[in-house]
Structures are given as C-alpha cells and as structure tokens.
Structure 1
C-alpha cells in the first residue's frame, strides 16, 4: 500500500478543461513549460505509463526513468519497468521527491497519494481525448503561482502553479 504521507509529487500540463493530450501526443508546444518540467524533475525519479514513455520516445536524461506496464516481460534499455504503481513508488523510497508524469490512468491512480501537484495551466480549450482527473479544491492549497502571457514563442497564455495537499 502506498502511504499517504509519501513524498510523491505529480507534474502535469492541462488546458482549461483538464485536457492533457490527444492521440498520445501533447496538445501544444510551450518551450517554457518544457523548461519548467526539466528543471522540476531533473535529478529525480519519474514514473510514467508505457504510452507516455512511447510518446516521449526515449529515457529522459538526468532522471531515473520508471515505466508502469502490465506486460510482465517488457524490457526497455535505460528504464526500469514495474507492473503496478505501488511497486514503482516503493522503488523510489530513497528519492526525496519522485514525480508521476502521466498519463491519464497513472494520474488517476496516484492522485490520492501525492503531496504536491506541479501544474502548468494552459489558458485555452483544446480538443483533447485524455484528461487529468478533477481535483477537490478544498483539499489543496496553491503555494506558488506565476502567470505568463503568450508571446512569439508561446501561442497561449499559461500559468505555473504548485499545489500542496492540505
């Protein structure tokens, strides 16, 4: 069983309707969001579903890459594979802040156990087919928020936020 007092965090980018992807791809390209993701997760374990790994295409550098897959014999060079969330999280016991990075099913399963949510909120509606679960606002406190306007490299307004479980 995953402990509720674990040091597990989650990082996600969503649109206004909690959309996170379509056809196993991101819905937007925001260079500053990619930098935020890299800065936040570098040096930590990142836990993801196999489809999320497939969409990334390779292990991310300077991170311990962990995939959750039901395939018992899945082997991918440069990553560790576990068959369930609990064993993946247990493998990260020495990491001060392991991160769940997607996708939708892994987010839903891990949400009850995370201490922090790092979220990039893209202020636009996209035609998504995968969604981040709704969170109960009364259970979370916004401890950081930084708003950004669209510019020549960013087609949409967006905000970085960090939520802490109350």
Structure 2
C-alpha cells in the first residue's frame, strides 16, 4: 500500500460527503460536483506535500476545489462555447424543493467570484477576512462581491427588506 493511501481513505471515510456537498454548492450540478471533487483529490494526492492529518487534507482539497471551480468558470466565460447546465429538479408539491430549485437557479446567475464568496460566507460561515485570504483578494472586494450577490439574489428571489427576519 502506498504511503498516501491510509490518509486518502481516512479523508474519504470521514469527510467525503462534506467535500461533495461543498462542491455541489459551488457548481450547482451533481455530476460536475463529483468531477470537481475527483479532480481536486487527484491534484492534491498526486503532489501532496502535507502530512496525513484529515483536517489539513480537507482544507487543502477544499482550496483546490475552489481554485479549480473559479478557473473553470473563467475559461467557460472566456470561451463561451458551452453553457452551464443545471440539474432539472422535477416539480413536486413540496415547497422546500421548489425553493431549493429557485435558489440553485439564482446562484447560477452569479459570477464565479460572487458565488464563491456567497458559499464561503453563508455555507462555510467564514468571516470576510478569511474569505479574502481564501480568494487572494482584498476584504473590500469580498464585501463588494457579497453586496452585489445579495442584491442580485434578492431581486431574483423576490426578497424584500420587510420579508427578511
């Protein structure tokens, strides 16, 4: 067994679901999210230079996924040859599915940086300072992305100041 295999197995066993969820929130597509996780794991474990600590490995893989997601969105926008496809969720009477679908569609309209900021802020619950560090930009830039994203999402989702708790 290679020296990296126990760390790899431990990471997937304990945090595999969380990595897939994180990737899904970034991409909005289950298939693309799976590809993102697989590619990030391949990159991390093919040239890994950190120890076998699961928390360090998870942070390293999440950073690789975030960088890869942003890079791929830049390429898609630049080339404009393909379109981002959303999972078409069947419409049920369950309001939660309808709201989740509406939120996914609204998230898909954000720029890659805006979407990354929203996921890191509201899913990962990171403060602005840490988001700036993760994305390699100024705190003011993160605040601007969050403000723009909130305004765009509020418009698309029909949220008004009176309706927010």
- State whether TM-score is above 0.5: no
Structure number with greater CO (CA < 8 Å, separation at least 6) is 1
Give the structure with the higher percent strand: 1
Give the TM-score category using the shorter length.
under 0.3
Q: TM-score, normalised by structure 2?
A: 0.26
Q: TM-score, normalised by structure 1?
A: 0.26
Give the structure with the higher percent helix: 2
